[in-house]
Structure 1
Amino acid sequence: MNNLIRQFRLMKHYFIASALVFALAVVLGAGFSDQFHGFIESQLKGLEQITKSIAGKEHPQWSLFWLIFLNNAIKSVVIIALGAAFGILPLFFLIVNGLILGYVGTISTQKESLWFFLKAIIPHGIIEIPAIIFACAFGLRLGVLMLKLVTSVISPERSVKYKEELRGFAKAIVPVILILVISLTAAALIESTFTFWLVNH
């Protein structure tokens, strides 16, 4: 528990940085939707096809729950692991998701209304978005630790220090994943039930 608390304290700047990157991407996606149209639409096409296939099932809400949960949970865990590549992929994941949210927000507001967009995002988004930022922040920190480790090969003292930091980080991963799974389960339940109901009424 002490190690987990320590890791969370060390994560402060990574949480802030991840949130800022995501927020900036949302602003860019919303403000420059025309410029990002092609890229974002290509990202959304696959999701649209899956959603259509779910709509025809006997219990679409449960199918939607499992789709959302597995998609987000797997991606969150993978994005932490892929952070080992010097944090590049978590950063990319933050930017892409932020761009998509900003873009979808603009398009939804234009086609429907701001209220429609908010009720489609806020109920589950208040859990899901922080969880994604949380996962990416851990991925970024892993990337920074790996970078430190690589650059410390010429200094045995630093190498020992960074290896110890990496061990502490690794010990915290299981509780972190548990937190993510619980959060994303709650978000998926809300999105597949309450949000689903809201956008259809």
Structure 2
Amino acid sequence: MNLSAALAQLKVMKHYLIASALVFVIGIVLGATSSEQFQAFLDAQLAALKQISKAVEETEQPQWTLFWVIFWNNASKSLLIIALGVFIGIFPLFFLIGNGLLLGYIGAVSVKQDSLWALIKGIVPHGILEIPAIIVASALGLRLGLLILKNLFALVSPARSSKSREQLRVFMKSLVPLAIMLVVILFLAAVIESTVTLWLVKG
């Protein structure tokens, strides 16, 4: 596993990372200010979260179950969104907007019903790891989709085709170490969310 090559790939991807972060921020703003336009989506997401929360509370070890639910949900979705990037990066964009909408909506409701401090306690401890991981995973999906598209267009030009194939090869080589890094980060985020964040919210 070439970690230095993987980190170098992240530097090459800086524009994808910036674009992914901006899309996520747009989703947050829309969720906080224009939630009524996306109410059906938000209601469905919140209903799913409530069902999961109820199921976790009914287990013999709710905190341990909560950790695994959080970790599995975030890790599997992040890896899936990278893979779905093959469809020209469309799904990573929807993933970013959807997560941003939900975060923005929950944040706005939390501040309105409680306080800004309640929002900070409920998001910041684990969010400082989880949110960047989601953005990186989406950026990887975007990069994969656009590289595949670039290779398709380059088929008409042998010179461009060779360069595009090499870019894709280098990118694919870096995916394994980057995916492992993301899983480790999301593991730590899940530990924090099921312990520190939970303690702060209940305190």
* Band the TM-score falls in, shorter-chain normalisation: over 0.9
Distance in 1 (CA, whole Å) between partners of 2:118 and 2:58 is 23
Q: Distance in 1 between matches of 2:43 and 2:116?
A: 20
The reply to whether residue 189 of structure 1 matches residue 191 of structure 2 is yes
Tell me the TM-score normalized by structure 2: 0.95
Distance (whole Å) between structure 1 residues aligned to residue 115 and residue 179 of structure 2: 36
Q: Which runs of 4+ in 1 moved over 4 A?
A: none
1:122 alignment counterpart: 124
Cα offset, 1:44, TM superposition: 2.1
Unaligned runs of 5+ in 1: none
Given candidates 57, 60, 85, the residue that maps to 1:58 is 60
Q: Please tell me whether the aligned partners of residues 33 and 106 of structure 1 are also in contact (alpha carbons under 8 angstroms).
A: no
Residues 1:18 and 2:24 aligned together:
no
Shift, 1:5, TM fit = 3.7
Q: Does 1:162 align with 2:161?
A: no
1:12 & 1:179 partners in 2: Cα distance?
17
- Which residue matches 1:75? 77
Offset of residue 141 of structure 1? 0.4
Q: Which of the pair is proportionally richer in helix?
A: 2
Question: Is 1:174 aligned with 2:176?
Answer: yes
TM-score by length of 1: 0.96
CA offset at residue 36 of structure 1? 1.9
CA distance in 2, matches of 1:94, 1:5: 22
The runs of 5 or more residues in structure 2 that have no matched partner are: none
Q: Which residue of 1 aligns with 2:94?
A: 92
**Alignment: residue pair count:** 201
Over aligned residues, Cα RMSD in angstroms?
1.1
- How many Å apart are 1:87 and its aligned residue? 0.4
